[in-house]
């Protein structure tokens, strides 16, 4: 049982939740140490994505039908319980397999019986949902933190929010950027097709390809030899709207995807990164796609940038509450709280101020985040206009919807653009 999909998923999930790490990172670590089960890596990932998109429904079953208070369990037990309930409720599993899983669970101190899983299997979801009211009910149904649902209702209205929540729980395309000085999009499309991927050219950007089922992409030879990089469409948009043609500094650069994209156009770029441990993997990516020679990386704190006021443009893509990633990285749902928004907003303003401080007249700053909160987006832009004297300028291409009260800023949403939720604006010192 130790090496079954359900138990591996529970082990990974428990580390993800306890340490608040990304699923991708924990999986990377797990499968490096357990190479004998590498073959089921893709299945475990799909299993975890499915489970996380249902985690509140699973918890509701445990609490209402089995009388198990999920929050009082240890983190491995909680993850194992979720894994077993997901298996019983949403997958067509064989009885023998489930029985061994239950035995394993009981050995690990989880009091769950065959009768319990049968009860969960046979009780319709609406029966359990009936015990919740209003916003809480929507939050359980879509497995989102209640405050996120409340926030979205206020910001976007109910109609739009429901579309957004549905999109968060649906598979979106995986986007890859073609390294155009190594191959063409057409050639890569053919190779991907030969390898069995359902790939399509993006309609907005001619170096972008969408893949309908992206599992295993990172393991094909074309990825290893740097013909493409897995990069969100929203992130690629930043490269286009920057319009940068000469030296620029990326203030918050790891893993370096936007930095490399823009540097391909400018011929040179500098990346600042505060976290020393993020730099080696960034160097590996840049090396792999052939951008290492045109990029300098500086391990520094951009709140006090080692720059004099100068003639470079700036990219600022700071850490954020990541609400736009609730679909692709559903693990965030386990720990995200409203104070992430306020804490990030403060940090973002400090970085906006330091960036503006070194920006010369006529130079511009691109500001982007992967969240849809107004505090981290339009409110920060309005603040930068009022307090720092920057001006929001029109950009090309404009593929998103207009920022809330900030005309030239653009927002992207999974239910409209099939990307992560995203915000980007260009601010210039006039
Ligand atoms: C959202 S990520 C950037 C993603 C990157 N632009 C890309 O597209 O690949 C933000 C990065 O900024 C770094 N960071 C946060 N605060 C920073 C600071 N004060 N100075 C420099 N880097 C910082 C984080 O460690 C993180 O790697």
Orientation angle between helical segments 55-65 and 134-142, nearest 10 degrees: 120
Q: Which domain holds residue 316?
A: 233-428
Residues 6+ apart with CB under 8 A from 425: 366, 367, 368, 377, 381, 392, 395, 403, 406, 408, 409, 410
Q: Could you give the count of Cα atoms lying within 13 Å of 324 in the half-sphere of its Cβ?
A: 28
CA distances from 72 to 69, 293, 337, 394 (A): 6, 52, 19, 52
Number of domains in the chain: 3
296 backbone φψ class: left, alpha, beta (φ>0; ψ -120 to 50): beta
CA distances from 203 to 249, 330, 399 (A): 29, 27, 11
Same structural domain for residues 296 and 368?
yes
Out of 271, 273, 284, 323, mutate this one to test ligand 1's pocket (max ligand atoms within 8 Å of CB): namely 273
199 Cα to the center of ligand 1, angstroms? 30
Same structural domain for residues 185 and 333?
no
Is residue 155 a part of any domain in this protein?
A: no
β-bridge partners, 176: 209, 230
Q: Atom of ligand 1 at shortest distance to CA of 272?
A: 21
Is residue 143 a part of any domain in this protein?
A: no
Max CA-CA distance within the chain?
Answer: 71
Q: Which residues of 19-41 are buried (b: 16+ CB within 10 A; e: fewer)?
A: eeeebeebbeebbeeeeebeeeb
Instruction: Pull the structure tokens for residue 253.
Output: 């650069």
Instruction: Pull the structure tokens for residue 127.
Output: 């029966």
Q: Could you give the count of Cα atoms lying within 13 Å of 214 in the half-sphere of its Cβ?
A: 17
Q: Say which CATH number the domain at 204 has.
A: 3.30.70.1170
CB 213 within 8 A of CB 197: yes
Under DSSP, is residue 420 helix (H, G, I), strand (E, B) or coil?
A: coil
Same structural domain for residues 276 and 410?
yes
Out of 274, 279, 376, 419, mutate this one to test ligand 1's pocket (max ligand atoms within 8 Å of CB): namely 274
How far is it, in rounded angstroms, from Cα 315 to Cα 355?
9
Nearest to 374 by CA among 347, 350, 409: 409
Q: Whose alpha carbon is nearest atom 11 of ligand 1?
A: 252
Which of 206, 230, 254 terminates a domain? The answer is 230
Q: Say which CATH number the domain at 401 has.
A: 3.40.50.150
145 Cα to the center of ligand 1, angstroms? 25
Same structural domain for residues 246 and 379?
yes
Is residue 169 a part of any domain in this protein?
A: no
∠ CA 297-298-302, nearest 5°, is 125
Which of 98, 131, 164 terminates a domain? The answer is 131
How far is it, in rounded angstroms, from Cα 197 to Cα 181?
23
Q: Atom of ligand 1 at shortest distance to CA of 315?
A: 6
Whether the CA torsion 217, 222, 223, 228 is positive or negative: it is negative
Same structural domain for residues 40 and 87?
yes
How far is it, in rounded angstroms, from Cα 356 to Cα 338?
27
Same structural domain for residues 251 and 345?
yes
Same structural domain for residues 189 and 295?
no
User: Residue 194 CA to chain centroid, in angstroms?
Assistant: 28
256 backbone φψ class: left, alpha, beta (φ>0; ψ -120 to 50): left
How far is it, in rounded angstroms, from Cα 82 to Cα 79?
5
Same structural domain for residues 312 and 270?
yes
Is residue 160 a part of any domain in this protein?
A: no
CB 37 within 8 A of CB 31: yes
pLDDT by residue, tens only, the chain of 430 residues: 778 999 999 999 999 999 999 999 999 999 999 999 999 999 999 999 999 999 999 999 999 999 999 999 999 999 999 999 999 999 877 888 899 999 999 999 999 999 999 999 999 999 999 999 999 999 999 999 999 999 999 999 999 999 999 999 999 999 999 999 999 999 999 999 999 999 999 999 999 999 998 888 999 999 999 999 999 999 999 999 999 998 899 999 999 999 999 999 999 999 999 999 999 999 999 999 999 999 999 999 999 999 988 879 999 999 999 999 999 999 999 999 999 999 999 999 999 999 999 999 999 999 999 999 999 999 999 999 999 999 999 999 999 999 999 999 999 999 999 999 999 999 999 8
273 Cα to the center of ligand 1, angstroms? 6
Same structural domain for residues 291 and 305?
yes
Kindly list the protein residues whose Cβ atom lies closer than 6 A to any atom of ligand 1. 235, 252-258, 272-275, 278, 301-303, 317-319
Same structural domain for residues 41 and 52?
yes
């Amino acid at each position: 049982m130790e090496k079954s999909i359900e138990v591996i998923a529970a082990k990974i999930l428990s580390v993800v939740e306890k340490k608040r790490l990304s699923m991708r990172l924990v999986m990377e670590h797990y499968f490096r140490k357990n190479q004998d089960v590498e073959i089921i890596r893709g299945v475990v990932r799909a299993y975890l994505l499915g489970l996380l998109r249902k985690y509140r429904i699973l918890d509701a079953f445990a609490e209402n039908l089995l009388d198990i208070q999920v929050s009082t369990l240890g983190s491995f037990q909680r993850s194992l319980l979720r894994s077993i309930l997901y298996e019983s409720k949403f997958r067509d599993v064989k009885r023998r397999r489930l029985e061994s899983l239950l035995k394993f669970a009981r050995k690990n101190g989880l009091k769950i019986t065959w009768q319990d899983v049968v009860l969960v299997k046979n009780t319709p979801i609406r029966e359990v949902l009936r015990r919740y009211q209003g916003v809480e009910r929507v939050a359980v149904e879509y497995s989102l933190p209640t405050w996120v649902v409340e926030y979205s209702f206020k910001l976007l209205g109910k109609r739009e929010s429901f579309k957004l929540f549905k999109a968060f729980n649906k598979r979106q395309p995986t986007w890859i950027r073609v390294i155009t000085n190594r191959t063409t999009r057409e050639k890569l499309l053919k190779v991907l097709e030969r390898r069995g991927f359902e790939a399509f050219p993006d309609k907005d950007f001619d170096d972008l390809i969408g893949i309908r089922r992206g599992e295993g992409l990172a393991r094909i030879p074309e990825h290893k030899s740097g013909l493409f990089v897995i990069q969100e469409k929203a992130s690629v948009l930043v490269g286009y709207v920057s319009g940068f043609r000469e030296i620029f500094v990326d203030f918050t650069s790891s893993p370096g995807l936007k930095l490399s994209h823009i540097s391909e156009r400018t011929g040179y770029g500098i990346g600042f990164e505060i976290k020393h441990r993020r730099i080696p993997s960034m160097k590996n990516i840049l090396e792999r796609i052939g951008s290492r020679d045109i990029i300098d990386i500086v391990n520094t704190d951009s709140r006090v940038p080692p720059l004099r006021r100068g003639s470079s443009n700036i990219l600022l893509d700071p850490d954020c509450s990541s609400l736009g990633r609730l679909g692709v990285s559903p693990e965030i749902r386990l720990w995200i709280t409203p104070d992430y928004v306020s804490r990030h907003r403060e940090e973002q303003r400090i970085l906006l101020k330091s960036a503006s401080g070194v920006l010369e007249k006529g130079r511009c700053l691109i500001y982007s985040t992967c969240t849809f909160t107004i505090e981290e987006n339009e409110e920060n832009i309005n603040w930068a206009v009022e307090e720092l004297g920057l001006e929001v300028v029109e950009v090309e291409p404009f593929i998103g919807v207009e920022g809330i009260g900030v005309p030239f800023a653009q927002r992207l949403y999974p239910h409209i653009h099939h990307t992560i939720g995203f915000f980007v604006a260009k601010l210039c010192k006039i």
